[in-house]
């Protein structure tokens, strides 16, 4: 069987939520394997700083995945030689107001979790899949979570959102089975990032949360899993990969 080089040399990747945490490490690891990386997110100074650290292979891009105009204009806002996106890593996500009983969350927080983690991910996928179909080449990597198969108390909306990502990702893979488009879900367990801080806005509480948990993954552990999925031979798809810290049950 023919073993193609994957990704193609100099391929363009787009990583959402690339200004920090998992997304920033994913951008760095993808650049290391020779791709050019569009680092997308709402905090422009952060995505530009990450892009600038990629030895000439990065480009910062303002992108709010909850804003249809921001997503729809994505292609036209890119320089011409950055428009053929071969790899999409849907990483943007949050659990605003989470880790509390369901009745304590607000409708705004629930809607924001679903709009970002689910609808946003679908929006960006829809915006880029046309080009992948035209070229019959692409790889979509969705950052789900172990919460996508194992719901937990105090994580109602987040678990619901990641269950949706899980179902969407596998169905998407089946839609493009036997084409040049591959679809992967990476499902991390606990990763130490700004995620806990962004949930509550309380730095001390976030630090205590990770300290109480014990051993967490590093964002780079997730990034290496993404690159592992990207570098498989043409006939192999990593459809779903669960990555947890050694002590996580």
Q: Which residues are catalytic?
A: 158
Interface residue with ligand NAP among 13, 92, 183, 229 (CB under 6 A) is 92
Ramachandran area for residue 91 (φ above 0: left; ψ -120 to 50: alpha; else beta): alpha
| Residue 157 touches ligand NAP, criterion: CB under 6 A | no
Q: Residue 248 contacts by C-beta under 8 Å, 6 or more apart in sequence? A: 146, 189, 190, 215
Q: Which is nearer to ligand NAP, 151 or 180 (CB)?
A: 151
| Residue 145 touches ligand NAP, criterion: CB under 6 A | yes
Q: Which is nearer to ligand NAP, 35 or 40 (CB)?
A: 40
Pick the closest to residue 157 from 99, 71, 220 (CA basis). 99
Size of the site for ligand NAP (CB under 6 A): 30
> Hey, how many other C-beta atoms are within 10 angstroms of the C-beta on 243?
18
Mapping DSSP to helix (H, G, I), strand (E, B) and coil, where does residue 113 land?
Answer: helix
Q: What is the DSSP string of 28-53?
A: HHHHHTT-EEEEEES-HHHHHHHHHT
Interface residue with ligand NAP among 5, 43, 153, 214 (CB under 6 A) is 43
Q: What is the DSSP string of 131-200?
A: HHHHHT-EEEEEE--GGGTS--TT-HHHHHHHHHHHHHHHHHHHHTTTSSEEEEEEEE--B-SSHHHHHH
Interface residue with ligand NAP among 8, 66, 242, 248 (CB under 6 A) is 66
Pick the closest to residue 142 from 234, 46, 63, 65 (CA basis). 65
| Residue 51 touches ligand NAP, criterion: CB under 6 A | no
Least distance in angstroms from the C-beta of 73 to ligand NAP: 14
Q: Which is nearer to ligand NAP, 11 or 50 (CB)?
A: 50
| Residue 154 touches ligand NAP, criterion: CB under 6 A | no
| Residue 163 touches ligand NAP, criterion: CB under 6 A | no
Interface residue with ligand NAP among 14, 38, 58, 91 (CB under 6 A) is 91
Window of 48-56, 64-72, 126-134, 232-240 that interacts with ligand NAP by CB under 6 A: 64-72
Q: How far apart are CA 13 and CA 105, in angstroms?
A: 35
Binding residues vs ligand NAP (CB under 6 A):
16-17, 19-23, 41-43, 46, 63-66, 91-94, 116, 120, 143, 145, 188, 190-191, 193-195, 198
């Amino acid at each position: 069987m023919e073993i193609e080089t994957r990704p193609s040399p100099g391929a363009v990747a787009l990583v959402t939520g690339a200004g920090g945490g998992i997304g920033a490490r994913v951008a760095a690891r993808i650049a290391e394997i020779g791709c050019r990386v569009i680092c997308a997110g709402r905090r422009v100074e952060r995505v530009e700083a990450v892009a600038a650290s990629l030895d000439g292979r990065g480009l910062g891009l303002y992108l709010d995945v909850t804003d249809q105009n921001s997503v729809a204009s994505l292609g036209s806002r890119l320089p011409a030689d950055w428009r053929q996106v071969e790899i999409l890593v849907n990483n943007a996500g949050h659990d605003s107001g989470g880790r509390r009983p369901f009745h304590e969350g607000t409708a705004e927080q629930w809607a924001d979790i679903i709009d970002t983690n689910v609808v946003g991910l679908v929006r960006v996928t829809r915006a880029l899949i046309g080009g992948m179909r035209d070229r019959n080449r692409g790889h979509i990597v969705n950052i789900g979570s172990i919460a996508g198969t194992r719901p937990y108390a105090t994580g109602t909306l987040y678990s619901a959102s990641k269950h949706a990502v899980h179902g969407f990702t596998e169905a998407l893979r089946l839609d493009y089975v036997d084409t040049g488009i591959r679809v992967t879900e990476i499902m991390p367990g606990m990763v130490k990032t700004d995620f806990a801080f962004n949930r509550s806005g309380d730095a001390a509480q976030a630090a205590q949360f990770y300290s109480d948990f014990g051993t967490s993954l590093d964002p780079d552990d997730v990034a290496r899993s993404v690159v592992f999925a990207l570098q498989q031979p043409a006939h192999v798809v990593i459809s779903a990969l669960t990555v947890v810290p050694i002590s996580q049950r």
